[in-house]
Amino acid sequence: MKRLSRYRKHRYAGPLLLTFALFIIGTSFSVASASTHRSTTTFSRSTAIDAGRQLFLKGCSSCHGLNAEGGSIAPSLIGVGAASVDFQVGTGRMPMADMTVQAMRKKPAYTPEQVAALAEYVASLAPGPAIPGAELLTYERDGNTAQGGELFRSNCAMCHNFSGQGGALSQGKYAPTLMGVDPVTMYEAMIVGPQSMPVFSDKIITPQEKLSIIKFLKAAEVEPALGGTALGRVGPVTEGLLIWTLGIGLLIGIAVWLTTKAR
């Protein structure tokens, strides 16, 4: 003790003690927060369902009913599955803001954890399509861009346009652009069939073919637009239309100019 107290007067004693104290506080804090972190990841399934139910009662039940049974405003969610909830809430379509035409993609109102809890809750009501996990989304490895392009042109292009840029449908509805959409959302859209989009079951488009479509769309995203403006990348029709109107317009202009000169 005597030897220790001799060091107390040393000029480094203060700074050293401070560093030591800070170190202790720091490590104990990180240990404490690590253990709280652990407890959220081992968050049991039933707590997630409970949390989801609470979120549902606050944010969704006014339209979908207290037990997700549906009502006059919105459809029942019994059996739609976690994939549908993840798609709708994860892309910000739900909670629906504007009930006029179709639920639009917007900034999500819920955090990823809350979306997961809502999905767990809805999935607990009745079985339905699950959220495709990372082990299923191996499109880089198992997808084939050329096959994906063919499948896309025969199944999706009539609504989403040949290069996935999106397009108008009837009655003011539209199919959104597929550029910049993440692979989980793409897979979910195909198995869920949101609003006017059909469901593409695994019998119609196998899981491997779905991966090819995703790979094709991801490749289209990074493809550079060669030769000036892409004109929506629809192909010769818009290009022809543009040159037709511009060309004829120019000819009419010249004709008018010539006749006024002659007078």
Return residues touching ligand HEC (CB under 6 A).
59-60, 62-64, 73-75, 77, 80, 84-85, 88-89, 91, 93-96, 99, 102-103, 105, 118, 155-156, 158-160, 169, 173, 175-176, 178, 181, 185-186, 189-190, 192, 194-198, 200, 205, 213
CB of 148 to ligand HEC, least distance (A): 9
Question: How far is it, in rounded angstroms, from Cα 181 to Cα 87?
Answer: 11
CB of 144 to ligand HEC, least distance (A): 15
In angstroms, the Cα distances linking 206 to 148, 196, 213 are: 12, 21, 11
Q: With respect to ligand HEC, which residue has the nearer C-beta, 80 or 125?
A: 80
Contact at 8 Å (CB) between 192 and 129?
yes
CB of 126 to ligand HEC, least distance (A): 12
Question: How far is it, in rounded angstroms, from Cα 14 to Cα 11?
Answer: 7
CB of 146 to ligand HEC, least distance (A): 16
Residue with tokens 């968050």: 43
CB of 42 to ligand HEC, least distance (A): 25
Who's near 137: CB < 8 A, 6+ residues apart?
A: 183, 184, 187, 211, 214
Task: Kindly provide the b/e burial profile for residues 92-115, where b requires at least 16 CB atoms within 10 angstroms of the residue's own CB.
Answer: bbbbbeeeeebbeeeeeebeeebb
Burial of 136 per CB tally in 10 Å (0-12, 13-18, 19+): middle
Who's near 181: CB < 8 A, 6+ residues apart?
A: 217
Q: With respect to ligand HEC, which residue has the nearer C-beta, 181 or 211?
A: 181
Q: With respect to ligand HEC, which residue has the nearer C-beta, 137 or 175?
A: 175
Q: With respect to ligand HEC, which residue has the nearer C-beta, 78 or 230?
A: 78
Question: How far is it, in rounded angstroms, from Cα 120 to Cα 82?
Answer: 6
CB of 38 to ligand HEC, least distance (A): 28
Q: With respect to ligand HEC, which residue has the nearer C-beta, 223 or 239?
A: 223
Q: With respect to ligand HEC, which residue has the nearer C-beta, 19 or 148?
A: 148
CB of 102 to ligand HEC, least distance (A): 5
Q: With respect to ligand HEC, which residue has the nearer C-beta, 32 or 61?
A: 61
Nearest to 77 by CA among 52, 45, 106: 52
